[in-house]
Structure 1
Amino acid sequence: MSADPVANDPTSPFVSVRIKEFRLFIIQRFFFIMGMRMIATVIGWKMYQLTKNPLALAFVGLSEAVPAISLALYAGHVVDKSDKRTLLFKMILLYFLCTVAFLFITWQHTELSLGKKFVQLAIYGVMFCTGVLRSFTGPATSSILAQLVPKTILPNAVTWSSTTWLTASVLGHASAGFLVAYTGYGGTFLLIMIYVAIAATALFQIERKPIVHSNKGQATWESVKEGVRYVFKTKELLGALSLDMLAVLFGGTTAMIPFFAGDILHVGAIGFGWLNAAADIGSMFIIITLTFFPLRKKQGMLLLFVVAGFGISIISFGISTIYWLSFFALLVSGALDGISVVIRGTILQLKTPDEMRGRVSAVNSMFINSSNEIGAFESGAAAKLLGIVPSVIFGGTMTLLVVTTMWFKAPTLRKFEY
């Protein structure tokens, strides 16, 4: 019998997990993402306690988004001409140092001796640094995936990668709330440091990968433009990325969850942690389901329908004043977003040539960072102008408008199948 796990059973839902380096990859992804999500949750709660100002939370997202978006295209060029494993390993080590900085910033003695204003500004500064690192880690992670498994099982690997990401996100959000409540910020950041160290150790065991950039002598700007041109001429890819960016830009509620938890639903850190994890729980459940029962046809049309459902669930969350109903609305939004993540991730992997994965993934990272971090800023600014509840309802309504527009403006996406 062949020792090749793909040849033995290529249709198994576990086919990609049987590859050792892919297992190491998802271990790295799990612990690194869990650490990142815990930081986002803890810093959001810390800033809420410091300021009680939605605009202050909005600037947390913006401080990370500005470098992540500004450097994304250059980062993609660097990723394509670099050994992706080594580059990603260096970025994770630097992220460990950022975690150490957060440990110091949130230490009670720091706030007492240097003041709340220093803590707030220092958080913005370190978040800026993590944004720089994220501009490289996103494209490097997406690019190395295709070097770990055969192309024939990429959809399966993408699904497992997404499941890992969402599972880590759920545990990161929820556990951060519990840990802050029971062990304080110090204990939470010490655990995050351990998680990041585990991620670095797993990644280090993966062998270095060959560089497949088609033109190593190509000028940086020409290389960057080549990646952008490819995305804009590949209509299915452009449509999927645009839909995700605009929907999350307007429909994102993460930045406002501390205010719903504290001021509207009147729950503490634990309730906040679960509410923050609700969407990811829904996403994790649906992606695990898709691992065993993958989507077979009309994925493009389905993408439009699930994003519309996402908008409706966000409106429901904005209206609700009952904790369990708010939790359920976010749970549904996450389940629908999980379907979107799988479809978009599969389109990205299948439609991108190997020699351009870093640059195309960088464009994808720009779309994601724009929607998440700029979306957080938009949510905070809208909440300041309109009020917390009206801003969320407005965002969900705009998401429905985006889907309606894309239905007519992106027919190739609507008809896309894989």
Structure 2
Amino acid sequence: MQTQPSAPNLWTNKEFIPFVFLRFSLIFALFIQSTSVAYEIFRVTQQEIYLGLIGLFEFVPILFTAFYAGQLVDKLDKRKILVICISCFMATSFILMYVNLESVKNSVSTTTYLSICYFAFFMLGLTRAFSGPSLFALLSLVVKKENYTKAIPISSSAFMIGSVLGPLAGGVILAQFGIEITLMTAFAIMCVSMVMILLIAPKPPDNTEADLTESPMKRIKEGLKFIWATPIILAVLSLDMLAVFFGGAESLLPAFVEKVLNQGPETFGFLRSAHGIGSLIMMICLSALPLLNGNVGPKLLGAVALFGVCIICFGLTRNVYLCFAILMLGGAFDAVSMVIRQSILQIKTPEKLKGRVSSVNSIFVSSSNELGALESGIAATFLGLVPAIVFGGTMTILTVIIIAVVIKPIRNVELK
């Protein structure tokens, strides 16, 4: 039978430390890879819509496989699933590394190059449909429940450090050494992720005979029924999907840097890291502030609304350093929102349903991020780059107001 660690201190937990480094190294490599390839795609095409298509190709496989992935994660060994997922990430990273070799890229047409890149992003999305729920469920198996509110900020901080250093390192390496060395670096760090997951013991689930014989469709329905019957969970997922969907203006950063600020890849990497730096600073503050005490509903709504305000201000700014400060502030508000949302999902979801709830969350998150990138690309094509960013921030604020009025339970949420 699966047992949870009994260590009272998180840092004496021999499995939590590899888990933290796993989150860091994986997101670090993925951010280096995605930001550098996105910049290269825009350099080749000079059209914002191709940046939006990256989000579409990542979202489609998540949409069609996430429900199945969630029930499978609840049924199987989470660690084994992650080993397979990281292997797939490594294979996809190798494909992107190969097609961006100068000799290979020069020998194929632009259409072929883009097709291979979008296929790789499709595979990344497919893999994320399984890795996301697995990581979410694995956290509760390497720490005790009473340590969730401490473990979540630390785990999220590892994610944020990776999201800070990834784009920054990607921009610097891209500018100094080119796309080939950048993607080789990402592949090497993927290998570190594999080492980290192998340091964690297998995590077979505590399945009953009924759990093992249930059909996938029945298990999926059970998860959806729980979400629909739990207004707080439904409200959190809806807020994430709709608000961040319209706030996906940062996906237009390659175009904004080149067309509006008239800067190069160093500035792109610099600005791309701002969100993560702001989030990281806020994560550190959250470890000392009683943010998760009392009613967290107004804090969640306020943080998302202020994130929308930052998006609007970013679109209207022309100074690189002011853009950085605004994006950093937006990252801080996003961190507050993320920690509250993840804490609600971890605490309010039964252990046997974590994979399925997380799979639905992955669809909502991907809808907000990947489809948000597509929405931003389309809006920029028809409205113009700056109007599209301002429109996205405005809609984020409006979405918060609508959800606060329509889904009233979101106003009063206690983390217990």
Scaled by the length of structure 2, the TM-score of the pair is 0.96
Aligned to 2:258: 262
Aligned to 1:192: 186
Tell me the amino acid that sits aligned with residue 316 of structure 2.
I
Q: Is the 8 A contact 1:110 1:119 kept in 2?
A: no
Residue number among 362, 381, 386 corresponding to 1:365 in the alignment: 362
Tell me the CA shift for residue 392 of structure 1.
0.7
Q: Is the 8 A contact 1:147 1:209 kept in 2?
A: yes
Tell me the CA shift for residue 183 of structure 1.
1.4
1:391 aligns with 2:388: yes
Residue number among 35, 42, 47 corresponding to 2:41 in the alignment: 47
Q: Is the 8 A contact 1:111 1:119 kept in 2?
A: yes
Aligned to 2:331: 334
User: Match of 2:22, SS?
Assistant: helix
Aligned to 2:88: 94
Measure the CA separation in 2 of the matches of 1:153 and 1:112. Answer: 53
Aligned to 1:284: 280
Cα offsets for 1:110-130 (capped at 9, x unmatched): 121112221111101111111
Cα offsets for 1:316-338 (capped at 9, x unmatched): 01111111121111111110000
Q: Show the 5 A alignment for 1:123-202.
A: 123-202=117-196
Q: Show the 5 A alignment for 1:65-76.
A: 65-76=59-70
Q: Is the 8 A contact 1:105 1:119 kept in 2?
A: yes
Tell me the amino acid that sits aligned with residue 354 of structure 1.
E
User: Match of 2:12, SS?
Assistant: coil
> Structure 1 residues 294-303 or 134-143, which shifts more?
294-303
Tell me the CA shift for residue 158 of structure 1.
0.9
Aligned to 2:245: 249
1:300 aligns with 2:294: no
Residue number among 345, 353, 356 corresponding to 1:356 in the alignment: 353
Measure the CA separation in 2 of the matches of 1:303 and 1:322. Answer: 30
Q: Is the 8 A contact 2:6 2:144 kept in 1?
A: no
Residue number among 213, 217, 221 corresponding to 2:217 in the alignment: 221
User: Match of 1:17, SS?
Assistant: helix
Tell me the CA shift for residue 213 of structure 1.
4.2
Q: Is the 8 A contact 1:301 1:414 kept in 2?
A: yes
Q: Is the 8 A contact 1:74 1:220 kept in 2?
A: yes
Q: Is the 8 A contact 1:213 1:356 kept in 2?
A: no
Measure the CA separation in 2 of the matches of 1:132 and 1:150. Answer: 30
Tell me the amino acid that sits aligned with residue 388 of structure 1.
L
1:271 aligns with 2:272: no
Q: Which runs of 4+ in 1 moved over 4 A?
A: none
Q: Which runs of 5+ in 2 are unaligned?
A: none
Residue number among 52, 62, 70 corresponding to 1:58 in the alignment: 52
Aligned to 2:341: 344
Measure the CA separation in 1 of the matches of 2:264 and 2:340. Answer: 35
Q: Is the 8 A contact 1:212 1:354 kept in 2?
A: no
Q: What is the percentage of aligned positions where both structures have the same residue?
A: 35
Measure the CA separation in 1 of the matches of 2:192 and 2:40. Answer: 25
Cα offsets for 1:272-307 (capped at 9, x unmatched): 001111111111110111123241222111100111
Q: Which runs of 5+ in 1 are unaligned?
A: 7-14
> Structure 1 residues 384-393 or 295-304, which shifts more?
295-304
User: Match of 1:147, SS?
Assistant: helix
Tell me the CA shift for residue 4 of structure 1.
5.6
Cα offsets for 1:378-406 (capped at 9, x unmatched): 00011111000111111111111111111
Measure the CA separation in 2 of the matches of 1:334 and 1:213. Answer: 39
Q: Is the 8 A contact 1:80 1:212 kept in 2?
A: no
Measure the CA separation in 1 of the matches of 2:206 and 2:405. Answer: 38
